[in-house]
Structure 1
Amino acid sequence: MLLGWVESPGYPTGYLPHASLNWSRCAHKGHTISIKLIHLDMEDSQDCENDAIKVFSNGNLISVLCGKREFEELQSTVNPLLVSSPGGCLSLTFHSDYSNTKRHTGFRGFYTDQDFDECKDDPDHGCTQFCHNYIGGYHCSCRHGYYLDVDKHTCTVSCTQDLSGLHHGDISSPSWPAPYAENTNCQYTLSVEATLQLELHFYEDFDVEESPDGQCIDALRIETSSGILGPFCGHTPPPSPFLTHSHRVQIRFTSDGFGTNKGFSLRFSTRDKVCPAVVASHSTVTPQQPESQKGETVTVTCDLGYFLHTPGTQALTSQYVAMCQNTGVWIPNYACEPVDCGFLDIPKDGILQLVGSDNPHTQYKDQIQFNCTSKYYTLEGDDLYTCSANGEWVSAGGQTEMPKCIEVCGKPENQPAGAGRILGGQNANMGEIPWHLLIKAPNRGGASLINDRWAVTAAHVVETAEETSLSLYGGLIDGRTTSTMTNVVVMDSERIIIHPDYIKGIPLAQRTNFDNDIALIRLSSRVNLGPNILPICLPNVNRGLLDTEQGTVSGWGKTESRTEGRLVTSALLKYAHIGVYPLRVCKNTPYTHTTKKRMTFTNNMFCAGAPGKDSCQQDSGGPFVLPMLTGGSETYHLTGIVSWGPPCEDRQYKGYYTKVASYVDWIKETIEATEK
């Protein structure tokens, strides 16, 4: 039904309590449903909570009514709201409560399905010029000289022209010199022989709409094979003559739906092609001139930090010669590309790392920064590197080699408070001597950790294990708990390197010469450094020893039993502070018990001790460090390695040590050669 009445139950005699009504109608496409109430007499209540009419459009509540309204009020304020959306549905519900103080007649309304006038009632109909309404829809049309675009709403003008083959002519915006049409999308195509270029001459009367902040609202663009020039707008035309350096040009002009600007006008012509002043980006040419004629040559030099890769060669060069062709192009024409320093081969040990990203930019002038991930390492070298023009990463200090994370050495976190004799001397606490390692077999002795992969000991301790493997224990003070304590670090040797000048193969009982008693041990894996296992520093090569200079010796060797008065192997790491003896005392060497010969003393040794204090059997290979461990903030150096001495039973308290300063160069050279 296109029309009809809707009214309350019992109208006009009155509705009963608990009365109800549900009504709904839907409009055709392009139509609306409306209700015009001609009578309304219902019980009045706050918010119409007793008796009420509710009207919905597409399910959305648009009106709630109750009480009594005069016809004029219904016409002016109520009925205009009771309309569906185009093609939508209108529904109405009525209900009364259980009682009324008096009888009310109810309501009556007339509904109609009618055409919706999009041109009049819909401001967003989209027609840019004329809108024509018809039953169920609408139609757009245009003024004379315009045509309706494919969207069926926009009126535009036909201004696309193909002027290919013409060597001269005129182009202007639509309706020139009158204001150009709105919603224009003009495209003018020019094309001539490849040896010619098109040149544009703009007339000064240039007027294309722009915004107050200088942005183009309408725009002129010039497209050539090398790119798009523009947009151009305002009152200043492009420079004339405008050399396109191309034999194919497209001129595009677009406008919006508003404005009264005049537009543009130009004359096009041709001339022989010339080559532009710039051959390639990021480069300079010699000689420099605004343009070049056919046959002229220039030298192209890439800017600093850029290079060109010429076909057929792997060499990186930055200069070449180019010749201008009659087609206006330079031959050859190689691109200058930025130098790429590439990704650095960062060790996979996780200690040295890049700050920020693992995949940094690697081109010219890009920067990377390094740091060490552990506090037990310090960065050796500069931390900031820049990609240089020659393709190398260079630090601020001019270094090209990568920095390294070097172990912090000789800095125990726990410092001893005092010391006694190894022979019944002071027990060490955990972390006080973190570089001291224990060797239990094949010979009991000690070693010193000098970095996270290497240890140093006496040659005679590891002589019989040179061709095999041995275990070293760190991070402990009780030598009996190497297999039970969770904090013990077990290190296996990968290689044992005895000093080449050490005389091997002589039983210890018959040996009279311990010269060059030093050996290096390469561990099979990197040690995880911590407060209980840290390296000791190597001494300065030129550092001499002063008479009576005080140092500290440590070990798990023989010590005096407090109960039995005899020498027993110490279960705990002990240390003692002893002094360096004068050279004349050291040269007075003891006799051996087996050969009855005096032991040999060389410049590669020194001796040290103190009344009641000495190293002893099974302390061999352990460290003698300077300065004396005092609990201060000093840096400690491995000055000596326990090597030999008179029997501890003789109570001479004079031990002989390998002078490490004599072997620093050998240690560093051996490690460097092995790590390559």
Structure 2
Amino acid sequence: MMLRLSLLLLLLSRSAYSTLLGWVESPGYPTGYLPHASLNWSRCAPKGHTLSIKLIHLDLEDSHDCENDAVKVFSNGNLIAVLCGKREFEELESSVNPSLHSTSGGCLTLTFHSDYSNIKRHTGFRGFYTDQDFDECEHNNPDNKCTQFCHNYIGGYHCSCRHGYYLDADKHTCTVSCTKDLSGLREGDISTPSWPSSYAENANCQYTLSVEDTLQLELHFSQDFDVEQSDGQCIDALRIETPSGTLGPFCGKTPPPSPLLTYSHHVQIHFTSDGYGTNKGFTLHFKTTEKVCQAVVTPHSTLTPQQPEYYPGETVTVTCELGYVANTQGTQTLISEYTTTCQITGVWTPTYACEPVDCGFPDIPEDGILELVDSDDRHTLYKDQIHFNCSSKYYTLEGDDTYTCSASGEWVSDGGKKEMPKCIEVCGKPEKLSTSVGRIMGGKDAKMGQIPWQLLIKEPSRGGASLINDRWAVTAAHVVENVQDTALRLYGGLIDGRKADRSPSVVMDSEKIIIHPGYIKGGEEPTNFDNDIALIRLASRVDLGPNLLPICLPEPNRGLVEDEQGTVSGWGTMGDTRVPAILKYAQVGVKSLTECQNTPFIPKTNKRMIFTNNMFCAGGERTDSCEKDSGGPFVTPMLAEGVDRYYLTGIVSWGAPCRERQYKGYYTKVENYVDWIKNTINTIETS
């Protein structure tokens, strides 16, 4: 009994403020715990206090890693001890109990469990828990934020400062009172606190100087300058603030340039230090002089004449740098230079900022084919760049892809072009080809996408046309000469003419029809089909795809070679009155000039048809175009594997009736009309 009381008194003597809160022990203590026994215990300390457990007895079954019977202690949910076996009180007091405590205001949790057996009848454990004041002022305690003196009391602590310091608003930091308003003084001295002794830690000094607006302040620093610096970085710092900006920070052993001309009548001097160091600081003498104007009116400009400084009444010319213009506050005229005068207050009047030239957002079509790369980042100022590409693989970029905002306010490409690039249709490149050929009159059936430029006209006269870009088609003039009010419907992206009004065909309406001015309407029995060509402007841009692509125009005056092979296609009759459902195509060869000049007679009038240099003829054995193929394409080279690009060499124009001719048809020679086609399109598109 006396031993237990002595141990208790010894433990209680550790803290005068400790209060015994209670005991915690294993079930059945001290007679022994039963198998499968358990205990869950938890307590929390109030703010500014800690909770600790002092074990005075421990007798549990011993096992590897205490996996059988065990006491576990947690601090705020973190495991701090796992105990088993038997330990004497002295060992508990020296190696176990010192760690069994919570943080300030924290919680302790103790758990106990036993397994299925307790053969040796171990007695268990017993300890008591105490709530005691936490000493925040203890050495190395992170909760102690006092910069000088710390005073502990039950449940908390407070800070105090040495003589000459005061406690800042955070109630932890000791600093000095070094803020002074020296407004009105034309001359005086400023030093760091305690100069020439080491300046105070945690200093935050502000000195205000203010004189008449016709004067400027000069700062003369002593060469004895010592502000803490480490690895080139300012630990403590001196900064000088004027209305035009901040000078500094200054630190190390080198003072600011002296005299330091502030060019201002109002200056604030800031000095800050951290909580360490033994540096001396600085001292300076301030005085005033008459104001002058600085040799800078606005950034990105030069002055003429150039001087280190200017006196009131002197005038200069401000010239903005290349790529900058003066912001004249809303005037319509952009200027790159202006004249300004130094005032008695040390300011330039007038003052216009030199700002980067703004090229504005470039004009690009709204069709979305030509697009800006990263267009969300729309910088349009001098030297900014924009990048273009085409949004569809069926177009290629014509022109440069990168443009830069120039000093003249225009977008200029890397190649020196001012015109924006264009997305030009990829022409004459079908994605599907077949090398087998036949004659249109009973010839070979085309496959979908094999002749993607072929268009069908059903009314008022059945015929064909060719797509030459996403807004224009070309056909024979005699096919559309009787169309009223430009009301023409064309079909593309198909091979079955019976399903022209159904998907997947593309239905196109005309907006304008332009017949070549040299074409003469021939009446019921025409003998002259010279200039048999017409352009059709579609009412809207078509969406190009694998089944609807344009054919290329040939080079002007390329010349045709006798026996040159090409491919003609259409939905024309097959030598009788039958009209095929599926698009037909055939290989035909160009005839000689002599053979072409041997034109057929018109049966009713017995007049010979007229042949001109704007035509050529072509055909083969049992192979030819026929009625209702008019306006359709004759392309070269003939459809075959390995061909890079196809060109619209001819347009089906005229010939003797299919059953009467010797497999020879006449075609409009497209090479003679390339300039007319391009000029006509350009005139209408730009009007």
Q: TM-score with structure 2 length normalisation? A: 0.89
Specify the SS of the correspondent of 1:650: coil
Are the aligned partners of 2:454 and 2:466 in contact in 1 as well (CA < 8 Å)?
yes
- The amino acid across from 1:543 in the alignment is R
Query: 1:488 — aligned with what?
Result: 505
The structure 2 residue matched to 1:433, chosen from 451, 454, 458, is 451
- The amino acid across from 2:351 in the alignment is N
Distance 1:423 1:646 in 2: 14
The structure 1 residue matched to 2:487, chosen from 437, 447, 469, is 469
Query: 1:175 — aligned with what?
Result: 194
> Percent same amino acid among aligned pairs?
71
Specify the SS of the correspondent of 1:658: strand
Distance 1:665 1:329 in 2: 65
Whether 1:373 aligns to 2:388 is no
Offset of 1:397 from its aligned partner? Answer: 1.3
Tell me: CA distance 1:450–1:65, structure 2 relative to 1, closer, same or farther (3 Å): closer
Specify the SS of the correspondent of 1:465: coil
* Farther-moved stretch of structure 1 (567-576 vs 299-308): 567-576
Deviation string 1:41-90 (CA, Å, 9 cap, x unpaired) is: 53442256676655555565544555543343233223323334334455
- The amino acid across from 1:144 in the alignment is H
Specify the SS of the correspondent of 2:234: coil
The structure 2 residue matched to 1:523, chosen from 515, 524, 538, is 538
Query: 1:332 — aligned with what?
Result: 350
Whether 1:259 aligns to 2:277 is yes
The structure 2 residue matched to 1:317, chosen from 335, 344, 350, is 335
Deviation string 1:26-51 (CA, Å, 9 cap, x unpaired) is: 555433344444x4253442256676
Distance 1:98 1:167 in 2: 92
Are the aligned partners of 1:36 and 1:82 in contact in 2 as well (CA < 8 Å)?
yes
Deviation string 1:209-241 (CA, Å, 9 cap, x unpaired) is: 1112x0111000011101111111111111111
- Structure 2 unaligned residues grouped into runs of 5+: 1-17
Tell me: CA distance 1:128–1:502, structure 2 relative to 1, closer, same or farther (3 Å): same
- The amino acid across from 1:45 in the alignment is D
Distance 2:662 2:117 in 1: 125
Specify the SS of the correspondent of 2:229: coil
Are the aligned partners of 1:43 and 1:50 in contact in 2 as well (CA < 8 Å)?
no
Whether 1:500 aligns to 2:517 is yes
Deviation string 1:361-413 (CA, Å, 9 cap, x unpaired) is: 22211212222233322211111111111111111111111111111222333
- The amino acid across from 2:346 in the alignment is G
Specify the SS of the correspondent of 2:216: strand
Whether 1:129 aligns to 2:148 is yes
Tell me: CA distance 1:553–1:182, structure 2 relative to 1, closer, same or farther (3 Å): same
Q: Aligned ranges for residues 191-270 of structure 1 at < 5 Å? A: 191-212=210-231, 214-270=232-288
Distance 1:285 1:553 in 2: 74
Are the aligned partners of 1:307 and 1:318 in contact in 2 as well (CA < 8 Å)?
yes
Tell me: CA distance 1:624–1:110, structure 2 relative to 1, closer, same or farther (3 Å): closer
Distance 1:13 1:576 in 2: 112
The structure 2 residue matched to 1:161, chosen from 155, 169, 180, is 180
Offset of 1:449 from its aligned partner? Answer: 1.1
Offset of 1:433 from its aligned partner? Answer: 2.7
- Structure 1 unaligned residues grouped into runs of 5+: 561-565
- The amino acid across from 1:554 in the alignment is S
Query: 1:150 — aligned with what?
Result: 169
Specify the SS of the correspondent of 2:682: helix
Are the aligned partners of 2:33 and 2:123 in contact in 1 as well (CA < 8 Å)?
no
The structure 2 residue matched to 1:346, chosen from 345, 364, 372, is 364
Deviation string 1:285-322 (CA, Å, 9 cap, x unpaired) is: 22222211111111111111111231352122211111
Offset of 1:512 from its aligned partner? Answer: 2.5
Question: Over the residues paired in the alignment, what is the CA RMSD in angstroms?
Answer: 3.0
Offset of 1:198 from its aligned partner? Answer: 0.7
Tell me: CA distance 1:244–1:2, structure 2 relative to 1, closer, same or farther (3 Å): same
Distance 2:666 2:75 in 1: 107
The structure 2 residue matched to 1:188, chosen from 195, 207, 219, is 207
Specify the SS of the correspondent of 1:510: coil
Tell me: CA distance 1:157–1:544, structure 2 relative to 1, closer, same or farther (3 Å): same
Offset of 1:470 from its aligned partner? Answer: 2.6
Are the aligned partners of 1:276 and 1:290 in contact in 2 as well (CA < 8 Å)?
yes
Query: 2:10 — aligned with what?
Result: none
Distance 1:421 1:51 in 2: 100
- The amino acid across from 1:337 in the alignment is E
* Farther-moved stretch of structure 1 (177-186 vs 647-656): 647-656
Tell me: CA distance 1:406–1:30, structure 2 relative to 1, closer, same or farther (3 Å): closer
Offset of 1:551 from its aligned partner? Answer: 3.3
Distance 1:55 1:577 in 2: 96
Tell me: CA distance 1:454–1:179, structure 2 relative to 1, closer, same or farther (3 Å): same
- The amino acid across from 1:184 in the alignment is A
Tell me: CA distance 1:140–1:656, structure 2 relative to 1, closer, same or farther (3 Å): same
Query: 2:674 — aligned with what?
Result: 664
Query: 1:273 — aligned with what?
Result: 291
Query: 1:81 — aligned with what?
Result: 99
Distance 2:669 2:562 in 1: 14
Are the aligned partners of 1:32 and 1:114 in contact in 2 as well (CA < 8 Å)?
yes
Offset of 1:657 from its aligned partner? Answer: 2.2
The structure 2 residue matched to 1:293, chosen from 296, 311, 323, is 311
The structure 2 residue matched to 1:114, chosen from 125, 132, 138, is 132
Count of paired positions: 666
Distance 2:677 2:27 in 1: 116
Tell me: CA distance 1:424–1:251, structure 2 relative to 1, closer, same or farther (3 Å): same
Deviation string 1:106-147 (CA, Å, 9 cap, x unpaired) is: 666565443332222562211111112233322211111111
Query: 2:4 — aligned with what?
Result: none
Tell me: CA distance 1:7–1:300, structure 2 relative to 1, closer, same or farther (3 Å): closer
Query: 1:639 — aligned with what?
Result: 649
Q: TM-score with structure 1 length normalisation? A: 0.90
- The amino acid across from 2:543 in the alignment is N
Query: 1:590 — aligned with what?
Result: 600
Are the aligned partners of 1:423 and 1:558 in contact in 2 as well (CA < 8 Å)?
yes
* Farther-moved stretch of structure 1 (107-116 vs 323-332): 107-116
